[in-house]
Structure 1
C-alpha cells in the first residue's frame, strides 16, 4: 500500500468555487437573542407577613389555571381592593411576559404576565388614576375580541385609479373583500401570504393605506418578534414576523377572529399552572 496525502478541507465562506454567474450562497444568520422564562425575584419569607391576601389571590389564580379550558370565560381577579404590599407581591410573582397589547385610543393597557395565558388588564381615567386592575386567565383577554374591530368596515372600496406602480394590491383587496363578507367566528382563517406573492413596495404602501389602522396592535417578543395589527377591515389582521436581527421573514394578512400567533394554547395554560405551583412553594 502506498502512502497518500489527505487534502486540507476548508469550510465556510470562500471555501467553495464561485458559480459561473458570480452568484454567492447567502445564509440567514443564526438567532442571537431569544426570550425565555425567567423565575421571578420573590421577597424573603420574613417580608411576607403582611401579604396574606396576595398569597390567597395567587392560590385562586392557580385554581383557575388548573381548571381553565381555552375559549371558556374565566372570572377576573381584582387587584384594586388589595393593599399596596399585596399588589406588590402579586406583581413580583407574575412579572411581565412576552406579549403586549397596545390600543390606539383610550386608556386600556394589557400585558401578558410571565405566565403565558395570564394577563394583567389595567384602565386609567382622564387624570391618570388607575380605575381597573385585574388578572385574567384566557387565551386572549375578552377586551381584545370586543374592541379589535369596533367599529370596522365590512368592505374596502379601492381607489378607481391607483398609482401606476401598484401591481397586485387591487387583486389582494378584492380577495380580502370576498373573504370578509361570509366569514364568521369559528371559520378557519384565510391567509394571504405576501412573502410568497409578487409585489412591489408601492403595493404594500397602497394596501396599508386602503386597509387603514384598526383599534389595536399586539406585540409578541420571543424567538424574534411578531407584530399583529388590526386593520380597519373587519376580522382582517396584518401579521409580521421578524427574526432576531429584526429582519422581516414572514408578512401576511389574515381573515380570522384572532391570529394564532397571539393566542395562548392549552399547553401554555398547563405549563403556567405548573410554574405557579413552583412560585407558591417558594413563597410558603
Structure 2
C-alpha cells in the first residue's frame, strides 16, 4: 500500500471549511443547567431561633416520614418568628417546580423546596391581598391547587359556529378531549394528544385554544430545559409544552389527567426527602448541643 494513504488528503477534516469570512467553527450550543441536590445546613447563632427551627424541621421530617400515597400533610409556618422563618427558608431552599394560581378567592404561589414532594405555599386573601398565610405541604402535588385549577364545567362549545377557513383537525381533537374530560375518573390513565406529531394549521390551534379555554393554574417545571403546564377551562385537560435549555419548543401536547406526572413527586422522592431532612436535623441538633464560642 502506498504510504501516501496513511495521511488524510489535504482540504478535508476539521478546519478545512473555514473561509476568509469565517475564522472559527461554530457548534450548536449544548443543553445545560440540570439541577443537582446539594445538602445545605443553615448557620444559626441565636439559641431561640435554633430551637424554633429544629422544632419545625423535626415536625416536617416526621410528616414526610409518615406520608402515604394520596396524603396531603400540612404544616403552618406563618406563626414562625422572622428569624426562624428565614432559617427554615434557608434550609428548605428552592427546587425545580413552581406554580401560581389566581381566582376570585385570591392568589396562591407555590415553590417546591429542594426536597422533592415538600412544597412551600403562600396564599394571599382579603380585598387587597393583604392577608397572607404560609404553610408547607408534603404531597405528590399540592391538593389545594388542584381543587381550584378549573372553573365549573361548562357546556361544550358549538364548534360549527366558530369554525373558520383553514380548520382541519381541531374538531376531531376537541371531540376526543371533551369525551375524555367528561368520562374522567381518578383511576383513568393519562391521555395525551401530541400536537408536535399531529398535522394542524394555525386555525386549528386558534380553535383548540378558544374551545378549551384558559384555567386558573400555571406550573413551571425546570430541569433539563423547562416544562410549562397550564390548566385549561375544561376539567382535567392540561396544555403541556416542553422547551430545551435554549427555550426552543421541542414537544407540544394536550393531556387529560389528574395532574401531569412531570410536575409530581414520586413515592421514592418523598422517602428520600424524609431521609435528607433527618440528616439536616441531626446536624443542627449536634450544633445546638455543642458549646459555642470555644476554640479547639
TM over 0.5: yes
Match of 1:255 in 2: 256
Instruction: Assess if the C-alpha contact under 8 Å between 1:191 and 1:253 holds in 2.
Output: yes
CA change 1:199–1:28 in 2 (3 A) is: farther
Contact 1:237 1:254 in 2 (8 A): yes
Question: Could you tell me how far apart the structure 2 residues matched to 1:142 and 1:13 are?
Answer: 59
The 3-state SS of whatever aligns with 1:191 is strand
Q: Assess, with a 3 A threshold, how the Cα gap between structure 1 residues 155 and 184 changes in structure 2: closer, same or farther.
A: farther
Provide Cα deviations, 1:204-242, integer angstroms capped at 9, x if missing partner. 222112211001111111110011111011111111011
1: CA distance between counterparts of 2:162 and 2:256?
26
Change (3 A) 1:137 1:194: same
Whole-angstrom CA distance in 1 between matches of 2:208 and 2:52: 51
Inter-partner Cα distance in structure 2 for 1:127 and 1:181:
36
75, 78, 81: which one aligns with 1:77: 75
Deviation at 1:89, TM superposition (A): 1.3
The answer (yes or no) to whether the contact 2:100–2:107 under 8 Å persists in 1 is no
Question: How far does the alpha carbon of each residue in 1:60-118 deviate from its partner, in whole angstroms, 9 at most, with x for none?
Answer: 111122221231232x1111222222111111111222111111332222211121100
Q: CA RMSD in A?
A: 2.5
* Aligned ranges 1:4-83 → 2 under 5 Å: 5-8=5-8, 10=13, 30-40=30-40, 42-44=42-44, 46-74=45-73, 76-83=74-81
Q: Size of the alignment, in residue pairs?
A: 271
Q: Distance in 2 between matches of 1:14 and 1:270?
A: 54
Q: Is the 8 A contact 1:242 1:250 kept in 2?
A: yes
The answer for the alignment partner of 1:218 in structure 2 is 219
TM-score, with length taken from structure 1:
0.86
Residue of structure 2 in register with 1:173 after alignment: 174
Correspondence for 1:24: none
Give the superposition deviation at 1:28: 7.4
Counterpart in 1 of 2:139?
138
Map 1:135-214 → 2, pairs under 5 A: 135-153=136-154, 155-214=156-215
Matched, 1:108 2:75: no
Gaps of 5+ in 2: 19-26, 286-296
- 1:121 and 2:121 aligned: yes
Distance 1:7 1:226, change over 3 A: same
Write the deviation string for residues 241-274 of structure 1: whole angstroms up to 9, x where unpaired: 1111111111111111111111111121122123
* More displaced stretch, 252-261 vs 32-41: 32-41
Over 3 Å counting, the alpha-carbon distance change for 1:12 and 1:243 in structure 2 is farther
Distance 1:32 1:80, change over 3 A: closer
> Structure 1: where are the runs of 5+ without partners?
16-26
TM-score by length of 2: 0.83
Corresponding residue number in structure 1 for 2:90: 92
Whole-angstrom CA distance in 1 between matches of 2:240 and 2:210 = 16
